[in-house]
Every structure is written in structure tokens, then in C-alpha cells.
């Protein structure tokens, strides 16, 4: 199993063909946490830290697993889960473990937090989702198409929620088939932004104002013609402008309230 830091690797990635026994000795599986169409994921322990161990369950989809591995071996990015090790012979990938689970668990986690009712926090969370697409496209390692991602629950399951309530992309293992999806690019995934953002914004106080300011950009994301949709950077800029505008408005209102109450 190759567990060297990304920065220290030289040349092509190690294959790990002779390291199966080392993996079984070093990593202890603790609990089966989830299973998808291609892999089982286990909460495991490695060198006294909790990790996520993904094991391929369908050998005919091994190319997908190797594609995910190559994507994870790219220079570290804060928007993508961190690769800790792998064993190609055993079809296993080891990544960091996030106890909060998938993004679909957001409401349950926010109910434990004092920030759950703040529109500023919710909008910031939605804003943090957009740069992931900007990072993914274009990629010299191939197009990271995510299967069945037109379904919101499936899309949410492909992201993980970190301990500090940021979002990281976890699933990168589905290959695009050029003959079936020749035009799949950033604009294809832009379509999902309004649905994910709507989920992230939830039903907190001030929700209607935020949604009003985001209406036009979200409408543009749903345009049928891909070429006419905004880029991820366009969406990111709009989100940031709305956040700044609403923050300034909130600050001004607070100052007026204090001046009226205390005569200052």
C-alpha cells in the first residue's frame, strides 16, 4: 500500500502490487458505513487515526476506480477529499474520514450547531460548493462525470461535510463515454447548482431575500442550451456579490438600530 505524501512521489504512481499483505496488517476495518453500485466503504483505523477504506465490488468497473485514484493523486486541493494510500492489486483506496458523512446529512448536523439559523452561514456554505466545479473543469486527468447526478439525493451523496462545515468532493470515479456524452463539460454540471444551493439555504430566516437575489443566476443555470449557461466563475462571482450586498445591508441596519436606541 502506497501511503507516501503526495509531494514526495517521484515519477509515475506506484502500482502497489506486492503490498496487499501490508495493507491487511496496517489497516483495521471497524465498521461498514455504506455501499454503492461499485464499492463498499468501511470506517477503518490506520496508524491510530480513523480513515475511510473503499473497496471495489464489481471488477468490470475497475477502470472507474483507477480513474478516481488518478484524480485523487493530482496536486492536493481543499475542495477534494485527501488521498492517504491505495493498493491497486486489492482494488482499495484509503482516504480521510469525515464523521459527518455526506452533504445530505447537513440539516441533522446543523441542528447541533448555533449557526443553523443564520442566512449568512447558509449562503457562505452554498458559495463554497461552486468552486468545486471551477476546479474540476478543465482537468488534464479526464472529465470527472458523476453518474446519476441529475438526482439531488445522489448529487448530495457525492460530497462530504467536514468537521468545520465545509464541503469536499468525494466521488470522482465515473468515466465519461465519449460516444455517449461527447459534450459533457462544466456547463453540464452547472444545471445542478440551483438545486444544491436550495438545499443548502434551507428554510432559515431571510431565505426569501437571498433567493430573490439569486433568482436570475439560478434561472440562467437551467437554460436548456448548454452554451448559454453561465460558467462556474460567473455563478461564484454572483454569489459573492450577493453575500457582500446583504452583509453591507445588514451592517447598515444594525448601525441605524444602535444609533436610534442609544442616540449614537
Q: What is the per-residue pLDDT across 121-174, written as a single tens digit (0 to 9) for each?
A: 888 888 888 888 766 765 555 555 554 456 888 889 889 999 888 899 888 755
- pLDDT digits 0-9 by tens, 65-106: 888 888 888 777 788 899 988 888 889 999 999 999 999 998
Between 256 and 121, residue with greater pLDDT: 121
**What pLDDT does 111 receive?**
75
Q: How far apart are CA 218 and CA 235, in angstroms?
A: 8
Angle 27-31-36 from CA coordinates, rounded to 5° = 100
Q: Where are the domains of the chain?
A: 6-96, 103-254
CATH T-level assignment (fold) for domain 6-96: Phosphorylase Kinase; domain 1 (3.30.200)
Confidence of residue 15 (pLDDT cuts 50, 70, 90): very low
**pTM reported for the whole predicted model:** 0.77
Q: Where are the beta strands (DSSP E) in the chain?
A: 27-35, 39-46, 49-56, 83-87, 92-96, 159-161, 167-169
Q: What is the dotted CATH code of the domain comprising 103-254?
A: 1.10.510.10
Cβ atoms of residues 161 and 100 within 8 Å: yes
Neighbours of 169 (CB within 10 A): 21
Amino acid at each position: 500500500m502506497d501511503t507516501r505524501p503526495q509531494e514526495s512521489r517521484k515519477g509515475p504512481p506506484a502500482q502497489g502490487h506486492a503490498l496487499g499483505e501490508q495493507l491487511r496488517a496496517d489497516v483495521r476495518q471497524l465498521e461498514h458505513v455504506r455501499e454503492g453500485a461499485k464499492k463498499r466503504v468501511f470506517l477503518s483505523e490506520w496508524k491510530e487515526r480513523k480513515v475511510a477504506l473503499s473497496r471495489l465490488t464489481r471488477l468490470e468497473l475497475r477502470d472507474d476506480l483507477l480513474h478516481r485514484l488518478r484524480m485523487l493523486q493530482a496536486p492536493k486541493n481543499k475542495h477534494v477529499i485527501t488521498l492517504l494510500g491505495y493498493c491497486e492489486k486489492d482494488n482499495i483506496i484509503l482516504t480521510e474520514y469525515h464523521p459527518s458523512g455526506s452533504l445530505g446529512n447537513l440539516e441533522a448536523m446543523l441542528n447541533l450547531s448555533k449557526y443553523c439559523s443564520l442566512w449568512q452561514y447558509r449562503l457562505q456554505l452554498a458559495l463554497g460548493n461552486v468552486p468545486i466545479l471551477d476546479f474540476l473543469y478543465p482537468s488534464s486527468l479526464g472529465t470527472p462525470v458523476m453518474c446519476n447526478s441529475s438526482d439531488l439525493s445522489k448529487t448530495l451523496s457525492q460530497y462530504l461535510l467536514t468537521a468545520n462545515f465545509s464541503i469536499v468532493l468525494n466521488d470522482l470515479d465515473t468515466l465519461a463515454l465519449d460516444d455517449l456524452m461527447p459534450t459533457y463539460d462544466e456547463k453540464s454540471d452547472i444545471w445542478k447548482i440551483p438545486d444544491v444551493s436550495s438545499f443548502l439555504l434551507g428554510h432559515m430566516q431571510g431565505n426569501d431575500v437571498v433567493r430573490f437575489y439569486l433568482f436570475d443566476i439560478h434561472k440562467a443555470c437551467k437554460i436548456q442550451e448548454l452554451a448559454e449557461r453561465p460558467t462556474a466563475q460567473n455563478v461564484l462571482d454572483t454569489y459573492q456579490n450577493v453575500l457582500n450586498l446583504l452583509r453591507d445591508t445588514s451592517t447598515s441596519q444594525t448601525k441605524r438600530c444602535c444609533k436610534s436606541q442609544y442616540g449614537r
